[in-house]
């Protein structure tokens, strides 16, 4: 059932929000071996559910990434550094969820401090992929993607700085939306790199994800054209064969090509210093409390010289202008969200491949959706849709989801 | 004669702009030993003077800091790095001067790349203080201040990133205005640190300087109150005795005190990385072509880590808010522009003292004026006027100049 239908049913009194919450809590318990849900709040959830009467998300059970502050719940960011920390107030995003009638049932796993994309660095160990428990869920919003993929909740909240919503969405086979920069509020989210940090949503289908973004981002306006103008990147993508084949099949009808500027260096030079500034005073002072992977990243981040940061700020402005020029005549450019399938847990050196295709929309702040793309074999793959106009990107993703369904 | 009177006379045909230019060129020749004027353009000046008919600065001879691009004139920034560089187009500021009817007669000495405040680092050697040729003129707009102090021109253009208009104005005994950030255009100025770079003016009195800023900055609006509400910093200033005494005498009637946040660390952490980014690709590659002082500064600047730059950006926002709060009930805060008198040429270690009081308005981008303050002995001192509102700061400076004149 779609989010709109759930909320409509709850508002009409046809669906019992307490039962929705109880069922979600029970599903979360059953999926405990995934490590996706790191904290359940049955008491708070049931209390909230009993009070739900109205709202565009009335009664919808949601999970929130543990990087986002929720009053009274653990706020550890997946790290021993904040092992005993408890949220003192609701993040703006949580306040908006509650105002819309959603019921927060608990917290989901984050790659420690959101500083990584494998979902394998957290005080609790790795998060597992529901499609194959020996494989990575991706990250950093690992638990939100895995929980939606496992059917625990129809909607979960994540964050995305370089791909952290879209990568786990692709690896777990769900929809992830990283809206345009600023569409969803970051107040109360523990920052990774503030000039790049986005809040995003994960859901089972594009319609639900888009609906949640519109409601929570308070977007107005139409949904754009019915048949979107699409392009693929002019630069050919290095992909795993399964992903390349799936992408070719999914986008065979797209003839338009656009040149996209390379975002890697600028993003790295922005993210590192901003992350190191956020952690200044904690790292290196409490370096031993960080996971080894995070420690290594922060050590490298502290070494990035200021002049490179300054140059990256300028480079970002150039890349934004280049992106606006490249995409001005299409609704969206599509590419594989991640060029590889979910790696086995413990597989080394996968970070560069995982991040390769998501950085562009992170650096530019452009809206991006990852939706499942039909692929041979048991593991999912994601199709990423990026464009200048948020409404049109969401509409293009919905159109693509429908077209891919029909092609099966 | 005031700038307005010169321009009025020229427009009315009572004053010959060619004669004005010739006289200024001759005075520049006579003052050659100062090293203030690094290039004269008699041909261009006389050609321009012959064509002058109109404009709020009609016929006013001006000198432009060699850091500012002027079509056809050397554009060396005082450095062997650009020994053979020639301006390809007029900087926006030069275009505005010409549009206002001013006649550019040549270029003034800059401390190399504007990266210093002593006026002692330049491919040509030091710039000398007209009040005592054994002493520093200050910097980096050394030549513009010295040329005005020596009576070569009634108006000269400088730049100010951490005090580079105000410091030489104070040391040479003229008026220097660093307008609010963005009031005068920096396009075509070789950058030092773009988020801190200001263009400013130097003149013999506040009225002329304020008039030039209004004309060239295209400011509109009234001149504020006749009797300004003034404050002094609550933190007592460490000053040379002559400066302390002069300041006490000049501001004895001011009872209001305001706490000003400390700008030093944030400014240093912003300026260094921005300067190093500007010079990336030239420095360290051509390190040997830089003056030793500049080389040392750039070497240190390249070492500032990015996370400190990021933290300084945040700190600047906090300091701006604190400054807005501290100054909201006054028109201006006044303090010695420079806490010491002009040091002897070659005196080491004077940089921190020279920069101490000017950084605050640089970091915050607030408008600031330095005007001469009566002081015992042959060397001048400057009184700095800083506030939130540009028009009120200029009016307060004019009021103070008049009050100090009357007190003599």
Q: Please list the pLDDT of chain B residue by residue as tens digits (408 residues).
A: 999 999 999 999 999 999 999 999 999 999 999 999 999 999 999 999 999 999 999 999 999 999 999 999 999 999 999 999 999 999 999 999 999 999 999 999 999 999 999 999 999 999 999 999 999 999 999 999 999 999 999 999 999 999 999 999 999 999 999 999 999 999 999 999 999 999 999 999 999 999 999 999 999 876 656 799 999 999 877 899 999 999 999 999 999 999 999 999 999 999 999 999 999 999 999 999 999 999 999 999 999 999 999 999 999 999 999 999 999 999 999 999 999 999 999 999 999 999 999 999 999 999 999 999 999 999 999 999 999 999 999 999 999 999 998 876
Q: Which two tokens stand for residue A347?
A: 């597989």
Q: What is the largest CA-CA distance in chain A?
A: 60
Residue A325 within any structural domain of the chain? no
A146 and A172 in contact (C-beta within 8 Å)?
Answer: yes
Q: Which among B324, B336, B331, B323 has a CA at the least distance from the CA of B384?
A: B336
Residue A81 within any structural domain of the chain? yes
Residue B295 within any structural domain of the chain? no
Residue B408's pLDDT is what? Answer: 62
The residues that bridge with A305 in the sheet, in sequence order, are B305
Residue B14's pLDDT is what? Answer: 98
Residue B274 within any structural domain of the chain? no
A381 falls in which pLDDT band (50, 70, 90)? Answer: very high
Q: Which among A80, A163, A67, A177 has a CA at the least distance from the CA of A117?
A: A163
- Tell whether B274 lies on the interface with A, counting CB pairs under 8 A: yes
Residue B166's pLDDT is what? Answer: 98
Q: What is the largest CA-CA distance in chain B?
A: 60
Listed range (A93-102, A213-222, A290-299, A397-406) with the worst mean pLDDT: A213-222
In the block, residue with structure tokens 């029909």: A406
**Cβ-based neighbour number of residue B107 at 10 Å:** 28
CATH of the domain at A160: 3.90.1300.10
Residue A10 within any structural domain of the chain? yes
SS3 of residue A400 by DSSP: helix
Please spell the DSSP secondary structure of B290-343, one letter per residue. Answer: S-HHHHHHHHHHHHSBHHHHHHHHHHHHHHHHHHHHHTTTSSEEEEESSSSPPP
- Tell whether A400 lies on the interface with B, counting CB pairs under 8 A: no
Residue B226's pLDDT is what? Answer: 77
ipTM of the complex: 0.91
Q: Which among A287, A320, A224 has a CA at the least distance from the CA of A79?
A: A287
Residue B407's pLDDT is what? Answer: 74
Please return the burial class of B16, using the count of CB atoms within 10 Å of its CB with bins 0-12, 13-18 and 19+.
Answer: middle
Mean pLDDT along residues A289-305: 97
Residue B328 falls in the annotated catalytic set: no
Residue B46 within any structural domain of the chain? yes
SS3 of residue B145 by DSSP: helix
Chain A neighbors of B314, CB-CB under 8 A: 277
Residue B39 within any structural domain of the chain? yes
Identify the domain containing residue A140 by its residue range. Answer: 3-216
Chain A neighbors of B302, CB-CB under 8 A: 305, 307
**How many angstroms separate the CA atoms of B135 and B150, rounded?**
14
Residue A343's pLDDT is what? Answer: 98
Please spell the DSSP secondary structure of A271-316, one letter per residue. Answer: HHHHHHHHHBTTBTTTGGGS-HHHHHHHHHHHHSBHHHHHHHHHHH
Residue B314 within any structural domain of the chain? no
Chain B neighbors of A272, CB-CB under 8 A: 306-307
Which are the contacts of A100, defined by CB distance < 8 A and separation ≥ 6? A55, A56, A57, A58, A215, A216
Q: How many domains does chain A have?
A: 1
Give the Å distances, CA to CA, from B245 to A137, B250, B336, B405: 71, 9, 11, 17
- Tell whether B112 lies on the interface with A, counting CB pairs under 8 A: no
- Tell whether B309 lies on the interface with A, counting CB pairs under 8 A: yes
In the block, residue with structure tokens 């000017």: B358
Mutate to test the interface with A, among B310, B315, B317 (most CBs of A within 10 A): B310
């Amino acid at each position: 059932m779609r989010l709109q239908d759930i909320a409509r049913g709850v508002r009409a009194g046809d669906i019992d929000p307490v039962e929705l919450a109880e069922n979600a809590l029970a599903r979360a318990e059953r999926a405990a071996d995934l490590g996706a849900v790191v904290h359940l709040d049955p008491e708070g959830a049931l209390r909230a559910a009993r009070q739900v009467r109205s709202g565009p998300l009335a009664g919808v059970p949601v999970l929130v990434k543990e990087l986002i502050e929720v009053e009274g719940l653990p706020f550890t960011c997946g790290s021993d550094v904040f092992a005993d920390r408890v949220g003192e107030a609701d993040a703006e995003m949580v306040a908006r969820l509650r105002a819309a009638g959603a019921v927060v049932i608990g917290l989901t796993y984050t790659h420690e401090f959101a500083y990584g994309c494998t979902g394998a660095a957290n005080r609790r160990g790795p998060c597992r992929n529901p499609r194959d428990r020996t494989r990575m869920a991706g990250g950093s919003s690992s638990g939100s993607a895995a929980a939606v993929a496992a059917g625990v909740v129809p909607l979960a909240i994540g964050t995305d700085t370089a791909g952290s919503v879209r990568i786990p969405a692709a690896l777990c086979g769900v929809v992830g939306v990283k809206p345009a920069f600023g569409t969803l509020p970051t107040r109360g989210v523990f920052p990774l790199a503030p000039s790049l940090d986005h809040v995003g949503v994960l859901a089972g289908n594009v319609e639900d994800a888009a609906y949640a973004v519109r409601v929570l981002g308070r977007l107005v306006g139409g949904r754009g054209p019915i048949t979107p103008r699409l392009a693929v990147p002019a630069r050919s993508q290095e992909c795993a064969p399964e992903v390349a084949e799936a992408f070719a099949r999914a986008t065979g009808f797209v003839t338009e090509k656009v040149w996209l500027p390379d975002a890697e260096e600028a993003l790295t030079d922005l993210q590192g210093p901003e992350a190191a500034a956020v952690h200044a005073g904690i790292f290196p002072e409490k370096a031993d409390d960080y996971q080894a992977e995070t420690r290594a990243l922060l050590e490298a981040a502290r070494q990035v010289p200021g002049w490179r940061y300054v140059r990256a700020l300028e480079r970002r402005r150039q890349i934004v202008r280049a992106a606006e020029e490249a995409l001005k005549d299409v609704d969206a450019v599509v590419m594989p969200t991640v060029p590889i399938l979910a790696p086995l847990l413990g597989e080394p050196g996968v970070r560069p491949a995982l991040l390769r295709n998501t950085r562009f929309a992170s650096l530019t702040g452009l809206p991006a959706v990852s939706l499942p793309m039909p692929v041979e074999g048991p593991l999912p793959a994601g199709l990423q849709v990026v464009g200048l106009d948020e409404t049109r990107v969401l509409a293009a993703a919905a159109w693509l989801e429908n077209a891919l369904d029909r092609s099966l």
